[in-house]
Chain A
Amino acid sequence: MTPLLYDISLKLTYAYEVPVSGGRQLVRVLPLSIPGRQRLIAGTVTATPDATERSDSVDFFGNATTYFLFRNHHEELVMRMQARVQVDAVELDADLSPELPGLAEALIGCWSVDRNSPHHFLSPSPLLPTDADIAKYARETVAPGMTAYEIAWALCTRIYKDFKYDADATEVDTTPSAAFHLKRGVCQDFTHIMITALRALAIPAGYVSGFLRTIPPPGKPRLEGADAMHAWVRVWCGPALGWVELDPTNNIPSGTDHIVVGYGRDYADVAPVIGRVRGYGSHTTDQAVDVLLVA
């Protein structure tokens, strides 16, 4: 299969009720380059009004970050990302993943804390404490003899079936526990629940933020989550198979319709914008996404 070429644009708008006197924003919106999987051909991140200072960097997990410092009054802030990305189809290896005891052994043998080490993705993370109910749900999903990869798939499918996609049910700060009991939510909620479940089984799991192709290929349904930034799960399935990405919102593996922006332990590590402004009053936000197939 030939690689796909996408033009991606993202517009994030913050409108402040009362003008703010300045602020600082940390932005993670630029797609990654991942050898053999996707390549960032060109990409820019810009802001209006012009930032007083700007710096671009790479965070612990390898994600591209941009800092903006604003030292002037403004009542609206618009941040834009534009990128051309080439996405290659990746053939998944045969299931070489071990069963749970084998996975635990493999973890003990992994003496590393670099950015791809599974050890970062086992413990509770800022937004994902352990949760007894989700852990029970996870254990129910496991049948004897299942490999780590099979367990991940089983959870992905079960969450897809048990939960209803509902953009009005949850907010960006809804806890996985709350979403789990609501049995509804959006990509972020499903991703958080699935990560929490996998970790409860001692399977390392992390958060992927990114984009979905807006207009589906001919004859295919439009995927949920294409109108905003998307999120899915990455699972460590042992040293042979490595990291595998599954999308519980659509019950599919991440493929050529998925463009990766960032990897982290949970949303807090990859939030598109973390900001603080000097001022008071409320604000509204808007997010517009377009992911067009060029060729």
Chain B
Amino acid sequence: MTIANQSQSQKGNRSGGTGSDSSGYQPLTGIADEMVAADGSVRPVWKPLLAALNRMDEAELANRFARADRYLRDAGVYFRAYDKDGNTERSWPLSHIPVLIDDAEWQALSRGLVQRAELLEHITADIYGENELVKQGFLPPGLVAGNPEFLRPLVGVKPAGGHFLHFCSFEIGRGPDGKWWVLADRTQAPSGAGFALENRVATARAFSEIYGETHVERLAGFFRDFRDTLQASRQSPEDRIAVLTPGIANETYFEHAYIARYLGFMLLEGEDLSVVGGKVMVRTVSGLKPVGVLWRRMDAAFADPLELNDRSRIGTPGMVEALRAGSVSVVNAMGAGIVETRAFLAFMPAICRHLLGEKQILPSIATWWCGQKSEREHVARHLDRMIIGRAFSTTPFFDDKDQSQRGTDLRKSHADIVNYLASQGPNLVAQEAVTLSTTPAWVDGRLQPRPISLRVFAARTRDGWTIMPGGFARIGTGRDAAAMAMQAGGSAADVWIVNSKPVARTTLLATEDSFARAMPGSLPSRAADNLYWLGRYIERAEGALRILRAWHSRYAEAADASEPLLKDVSNYLHEVDIDSTQAVPESLVASIGSALYSAGNIRDRFSPDGWMALNDLSTTAKKFRADVKAGDDATQAMTILLRKLAGFAGLVHENMYRFTGWRFLTIGRTLERGLHMTRLLGHLSKPGAPDGALDMLLEIGDSVMTHRRRYNVSTAHLTVTDLLALDPLNPRSVLYQLNEIKREAELLPGSIVHSQMSEFYRATYRLQARLAVMTPEELTPSVYAGLESDLEMLSNLLAQAYLG
């Protein structure tokens, strides 16, 4: 045990009897702590963990933390941070010490949150229904009518299934008196549940045996119940369930993909959807398929550019029409975001008594809306204890990007507070400045108290509301609760609800007796489009790399770019938009960038390994572009890039499930390779091509050795043509590509219906047959030109049939 006893506890009783806080952990005076109770004793649920921590030396602890971090890295967990340089992906900031809460305390907390979820449901239903709360004076009309989250097109729209809320989260904190308070409600598109799962897996890796011995409530059952409820809520078993994401630029996109994969739902963007006959449909490569449940991770205002925010570029035109038709159940109903409004907290106690006929079990942080005179006066009198923020804010004060100010600071900027509050009243809300509790975090080699807020999740199941036994703890950086947000450098921790008895272990995986081999669902057209273009761009990059490597290796010898062959190939490169005067041409880097972009759009379909390989390729290409010189240096660089590209291609080839998505990727790659080889053959095998053109062609086509073995002669026009255009066994020949395309095309949805070929399959078949019967003598430059335009046409037909 080398967790140094750095400072002797001020209160002697801190270590009394427990024998387990020799860590010297010292809570802050006057602030509640999760591990150490008010009387200075370590809370019983923490004792095994603390004892275990005390037994470990620093090296072991470092090892354990590294295990957790490695898991997160390998699983590709990230979040998106926004800063002055735009946004970047950051690795997940896990605070490795979990937060432990006794099950009995948790049960009480859960009862309060269930009541709260029910209350929010009633308020939402009233706002979009009869508006009795306003009419009877429980809710000021301005807080509804002036609220950006009041979505008028949804007024009077009854949600499918009857409920507005299905999945909520609550930001809660423990005050100095040891009691829990709700700091904010999240009903729009609560995030964090997926991250809570990842925190759990990572933390359990670090402390596997302690996790095993401690009776920690499992999380899987919560998700299983919710998934089963959503499945049962569909109007037809044909209906898909999908997670609706704003897309890869969203800060929690990783989680959207993770949840979708974990629960077996589709991951869709607004563009994937189409509303036909009042029904939401997903555009797939097998045509339009119905969607019955949307788990929305997009703010509702962006979901329909026709009836909601008309500037939205991520929505689905007609979505609100579909909601009106009641054909799709949305988690949560659009418009439900209004009950996140900070000013609502001021009115909830009275509304709870009015609507539910009972007192709120779990109080909210004390809140005053400054639109009312008496409240305003109260705020002015007690300004120094207040935090002032925007009435319509939907985030807790430590999350709203400095839009909230301490009363003491406000006093400095506004001399006449009473007048300021009066003029800005309806837009302002005051909240009691609470000091959140602390929890142990491992900082600078020892346990130190850090402020914590807890995000807890509630899901509506067939048996009513259920609370996830655990949650997402957010840990502040310093002692100030204001630095809680991860954007501000805060971190996240797992939450262990500890039962006194052994807990049931559930898993989302089906048990053996219910085994069924499910085929992947219909592939969304947009995903197919991205896979297809990923294939094309990656192959385009490879084609360019091969030509450039051949060029630079010759240039390294000749040192003269005006040498006939080099000049000729430079001209060719120029035609395909590659500038050979640049050692690493911009368009090459752009092709790799486009491949990366396409892959990013369908990241949920890749292993993290594949993604990292592609990222590495892109980073290396950019680096080379900056400092690689023409000639040997460039030859070397191209070889490295080719190897990295082969690494990515290999990972995909070895690991990707051979289903529809694979076919589009393959067709993209082979079609681009076919185009590349056709163009090159047309150029370098034409009559009058410079000396050495055929040898270069063989080198680019990676067929030098094969040619030597097969023909046993020096390179001649006919043998090269035979090998690179017509040899069905050469994986770089044009015919090989057409054979591949034809084979995959036949397996695409709708390729043959009632014995009739689809247009795409027919065109593929025809082109393959035409080339298959040709002889090398027939392949003239004009035939290659025709072949090139036919291949381009195949691409268009594919897009029309599947990718629109």
Contacts and interface: CB of A to CB of B under 8 A. Distances in A.
The answer to whether A and B come from one shared complex is yes
Interface of A: 21, 23-24, 26, 53, 55, 57, 59-61, 67, 69, 71, 110-114, 117, 119-120, 122-123, 126, 268, 271, 274-276, 278
A71 B146 CA distance: 37
B307 A123 contact: no
A111 B134 contact: yes
B574 interface: no
B120 to A, nearest CB: 18
A278 B275 CA distance: 13
Contacts of B774: none
Contacts of B137: 111
Contact of B318 (A69, A111, A119, A122): A69
B369 to A, nearest CB: 13
B142 interface: yes
A61 B317 CA distance: 20
B306 A60 contact: no
Given A120-B145, A123-B146, A24 B306 contact: yes
Interface string B114-146: 000000000000000001001111000110111
A293 B149 CA distance: 43
Given A112-B134, A113-B131, A119 B146 contact: yes
Interface string B130-168: 010011110001101110000011010000000000000
A36 B321 CA distance: 32
Question: Lowest 4 CB-CB distances: which A-B pairs, in order?
Answer: A123-B146, A119-B145, A60-B152, A276-B317
A69 B321 CA distance: 11
B800 to A, nearest CB: 9
A26 B142 contact: no
B134 A113 contact: yes
Interface in B660-709: none
B155 A69 contact: no
A114 B276 contact: no
A268 B142 contact: no
Contacts of A274: 305-307, 310
Interface in B287-331: 305-307, 309-310, 317-318, 321, 324
B280 to A, nearest CB: 13
B478 interface: no
Contacts of B318: 24, 67, 69
B786 interface: no
Contacts of A69: 275-276, 318
6 contacts: A67-B321, A113-B145, A119-B145, A123-B145, A123-B146, A126-B309
A119 B141 CA distance: 7
B310 A268 contact: yes
A95 to B, nearest CB: 25
B561 to A, nearest CB: 39
Contact of A21 (B152, B309, B317, B804): B804
Contacts of A24: 275, 306, 317-318
Contacts of A114: 131
B141 A111 contact: yes
Contacts of A71: 276
B277 interface: yes
Given A60-B152, A111-B141, A26 B309 contact: no
Contact of B321 (A55, A60, A278): A55
Given A53-B276, A123-B142, 8 more contacts: A23-B317, A24-B306, A111-B135, A111-B137, A119-B145, A122-B146, A268-B310, A276-B306
Given A67-B321, A113-B131, A113-B141, A59 B305 contact: no
A226 B233 CA distance: 53
A114 B135 CA distance: 10
Nearest to A55: B321
A55 B276 CA distance: 12
Nearest to A277: B317
Contacts of B134: 111-113
A120 B305 CA distance: 21
A117 B144 CA distance: 11
A268 B324 CA distance: 21
B596 to A, nearest CB: 24
A119 B310 contact: no
A114 B136 CA distance: 14
A211 B732 CA distance: 67
B153 A60 contact: yes
A123 B142 CA distance: 8
Contact of B305 (A111, A113, A276, A278): A276
A164 B307 CA distance: 33
B275 to A, nearest CB: 8
Q: Most chain-B CB neighbours within 10 Å: which of A21, A111, A271, A274? A: A111
A113 B152 CA distance: 11
Nearest to B306: A26
Interface string B238-280: 0000000000000000000000000000000000000111000
Nearest to A24: B317
A112 B305 contact: no
Contacts of B277: 53
B139 to A, nearest CB: 9
B150 to A, nearest CB: 8
Nearest to A173: B311
Contacts of B310: 126, 268, 271, 274
Given A113-B145, A119-B141, A275 B309 contact: no
A117 B155 contact: no
Nearest to B324: A57
A59 B153 CA distance: 7
Contacts of B276: 53, 69, 71
B27 to A, nearest CB: 45
B306 A112 contact: no
A132 to B, nearest CB: 14
Contacts of A120: 145-146
A164 B150 CA distance: 36
A254 B146 CA distance: 27
Contacts of A61: 152
B306 A275 contact: yes
Contacts of A26: 306-307
B215 to A, nearest CB: 50
A120 B324 CA distance: 22
Contacts of B324: 57
Contacts of B141: 110-113, 117, 119
A274 to B, nearest CB: 5
A180 to B, nearest CB: 21
